Amino acid sequence: MTYKIGIDAGGTHTTAEAYDQNGNLLTKVETGQGNVNADYEEAMANIKDAIRQIQAELGPDCEKILAGIAGVSVTGEYAKISQELANTFNVPSKTITDSAIALYRALKGKDGILTIAGTGSVVNGLQNGHIIAVGGYGHLLGDEGSGYAISIAALKKALNTYDQGKTSPLTEMFTRHFNVNRMEDCNALVYRMDRPQIGKLALLVSSLANQGDSDAILVLEDQADLLAHDILMCLDRFTTPKPMDIAFTGSVLTKNEVVRKRVEADILAKYPDANFIISDGGNASGVLYDEATDYTRPLIK
Amino acid sequence: MTYKIGIDAGGTHTTAEAYDQNGNLLTKVETGQGNVNADYEEAMANIKDAIRQIQAELGPDCEKILAGIAGVSVTGEYAKISQELANTFNVPSKTITDSAIALYRALKGKDGILTIAGTGSVVNGLQNGHIIAVGGYGHLLGDEGSGYAISIAALKKALNTYDQGKTSPLTEMFTRHFNVNRMEDCNALVYRMDRPQIGKLALLVSSLANQGDSDAILVLEDQADLLAHDILMCLDRFTTPKPMDIAFTGSVLTKNEVVRKRVEADILAKYPDANFIISDGGNASGVLYDEATDYTRPLIK
């Protein structure tokens, strides 16, 4: 039986899924981190391990491998990785970013936009086979509307209140969370956290916003505006007729109603016929929607 | 001959100066980094080495040591370090932050504000012996108006232009500086730079602003507004009659006219009798202006 493999290789784990000709899921395996910019050797070992497990189960008749890999947009090693996979497994292979395979999956191969906002954020538009990327420049230079950006903006807002010699529900939330007496004392602790840990503080901000706190709501709305601005730039760059499907994925957009509703309102103000889709779950199935034939062939038969 | 020692212990080097009773500089020595948060043992070794060199030259009759030490506001080890210096050198000693000794020096012991904007930024106000600190929360959570913040804001502005599919003098400046073809390709290089290196990109932004580029001017003015906002918060917190001397130090405020003039204009709009002072050069002489007697005494005579 022939099958195709889709891979979603991200910063914490790699998911590989195999589908038959009718799009039925045959099997799914998960291995470790797959970000080739964080650790190329480790990521490639985890990606190959996932493919090997599937071949061991389903046999050699794999038709193609579409690998969506985190970090490849930074390293630029699309061709190198495609050739390495094609040669190792003797299967036509193609490497794209993890956000691109998520885009194929979210829009089922149709043109439109995928907006991801989790710990980081990025906007990817697809029109006539051409991808337009907006944002996604990482925690220092971008990631508007991400959990990380929300957390930092909320901490800055609370520090501003503290600098005025005042307290607020936001300062009280942070000092309680970090178990310190003064807002200022949160800082040293924040600088010792990694980015995903900082990003999770956004959950506290959301929870305070849901209780109606104006500072928390303002922080979320500001970040939503920045993210909507990125999506609008992508829509502006589409040629007419513009595709109007806009998919959202990532914890901030799928779980935070304040952010998603504000983003939707900002977009509808300029593009009233925009259509919003929520896409959560596995992106490896994006392989089902890539009709392109530009897969790298094995050098050794 | 009795003398007093002032120490300015910063992230790259430690300066110690000795003064006689009339405020004449007797000698000055420089050793390595003195940030106790970066490396406590190394910083203390460098600080002690500087004091030892001065005692070797001027003899044991040191009246007091005032140590302004970077990082101590994070670690909070004021008392511990004061006692350690007092015991080691058998001299009454006091530990404050490096920004506080800079404040004593800039205002010659008078009440007022010192604003530092170099790689980082912080605002310190002094009134009736009480210090009010605003900002200074580091590159992720603050440092408004610093060289680092200017560089990041300029990179974000250029990436925004790039995301619109356009170029500008700012994007051209960055791609030329990094010797890459696309604005996007600057990013991986920026993420490999350390904070002082990133902060130095602000010089390019200043130079473009001096040529009249509107994007570069906007970036500088935005950061100046944020820094002025911190200074205004400090002025707001003073009790009436408020001290009106505001000293500026650090490369951004002493060398960048666009930033300094904007900060001054913002402050004068609310406090028309503000008086601005430029303070550059050594801060160790702040020891001359500390009239307090709360120095930690040696435990061992």
Give tens-digit pLDDT for B246-273. Answer: 999 988 998 889 999 999 999 999 999 9
Both B139 and B263 in a single domain?
A: yes
Please return the burial class of A201, using the count of CB atoms within 10 Å of its CB with bins 0-12, 13-18 and 19+.
buried
Name the pLDDT band for B2 (thresholds 50, 70, 90). very high
What is the share, in percent, of chain B residues with pLDDT greater than 70?
99
CATH number at residue A39: 3.30.420.40
Which of B40, B130, B137, B144 best tests the A interface by mutation, with the highest count of A CBs <10 A?
Answer: B137
B175 domain-assigned: yes
What pLDDT is recorded for position B134? 93
A226 domain-assigned: yes
Q: Which residue has the higher pLDDT, A287 or A74?
A: A287
Asked whether the predicted pLDDT for residue A190 surpasses 90, the reply is yes
Asked whether the predicted pLDDT for residue B299 surpasses 60, the reply is yes
Give the domain-ending residue among B65, B91, B117.
Answer: B91
Both A218 and A119 in a single domain?
A: yes
Both A180 and A270 in a single domain?
A: yes
Most confident of A117-131, A265-279, B111-125, B272-286: A265-279
- Of A10, A2, A156, the C-alpha closest to A73 is A10
Asked whether the predicted pLDDT for residue A5 surpasses 80, the reply is yes
Both A127 and A75 in a single domain?
A: no
Which residues of B make CB contacts under 8 Å with A? Answer: 37, 74, 134-135, 137-138, 140-142, 152, 155-156, 159-160, 163-165, 184, 187-188, 190-191, 230, 233, 236-237
Name the pLDDT band for A184 (thresholds 50, 70, 90). confident
Both A146 and A80 in a single domain?
A: no
Decide if A246 contacts A231 (C-beta within 8 A). Answer: yes
Decide if B62 contacts B90 (C-beta within 8 A). Answer: no
What pLDDT is recorded for position B300? 60
ipTM score of the complex? 0.83
Both B183 and B113 in a single domain?
A: yes
A299 domain-assigned: no
Residues counted in chain A? 301
Q: Tell me which residue range forms the domain holding A68.
A: 3-91
What average pLDDT does range A273-297 have in this prediction?
89
Both B174 and B275 in a single domain?
A: yes
What pLDDT is recorded for position A263? 98
pLDDT averaged over every residue in chain A: 93
Asked whether the predicted pLDDT for residue A169 surpasses 60, the reply is yes
CA distances from A182 to A44, A178, A214, B141, B286 (A): 45, 10, 21, 15, 28
What pLDDT is recorded for position B208? 97
Both A26 and A175 in a single domain?
A: no
Long-range contact list for B260-265, CB < 8 A, 24+ apart? B260/B224, B262/B220, B262/B221, B262/B224, B262/B225, B262/B228, B263/B115, B263/B145, B263/B224, B263/B227, B263/B228, B263/B231
What pLDDT is recorded for position B167? 96
Both A140 and A274 in a single domain?
A: yes
Q: What is the DSSP letter of B296?
A: B
Of B74, B142, B190, the CB nearest to A188: B74
Both B113 and B87 in a single domain?
A: no
A196 domain-assigned: yes
What is the share, in percent, of chain B residues with pLDDT greater than 90?
80
B98 domain-assigned: no
What average pLDDT does range A177-199 have in this prediction?
92
Both B272 and B132 in a single domain?
A: yes
Query: How many structural domains are present in chain A?
Result: 2
Asked whether the predicted pLDDT for residue B301 surpasses 70, the reply is no
Residues of chain A with C-beta less than 8 angstroms from the C-beta of B137: 156, 159, 184, 187
B299 domain-assigned: no
What stretches of chain B adopt beta strand conformation (E)?
3-9, 14-19, 25-31, 62-69, 93-97, 112-117, 121-127, 130-134, 245-249, 275-278
Q: What is the pLDDT of residues A34-86, one digit of tens each?
A: 999 889 999 999 999 999 999 999 999 999 999 999 989 878 899 999 999 99
Please name the residues in contact with B58: beta carbons below 8 A apart, sequence gap of 6 or more.
Answer: B1, B3, B18, B26, B27
Both A117 and A266 in a single domain?
A: yes
- Of A164, A166, A180, the C-alpha closest to B74 is A180
Q: Between chains, do A165 and B237 touch, taking CB under 8 Å as contact?
A: yes
The 3-state DSSP class for residue A119 equals coil
What pLDDT is recorded for position B281? 67
Residues of chain A with C-beta less than 8 angstroms from the C-beta of B190: 140-141
What pLDDT is recorded for position A109? 85
What pLDDT is recorded for position A293? 86
From CA A27, how far away is CA A39, in angstroms rounded? Answer: 27
Name the pLDDT band for B196 (thresholds 50, 70, 90). confident
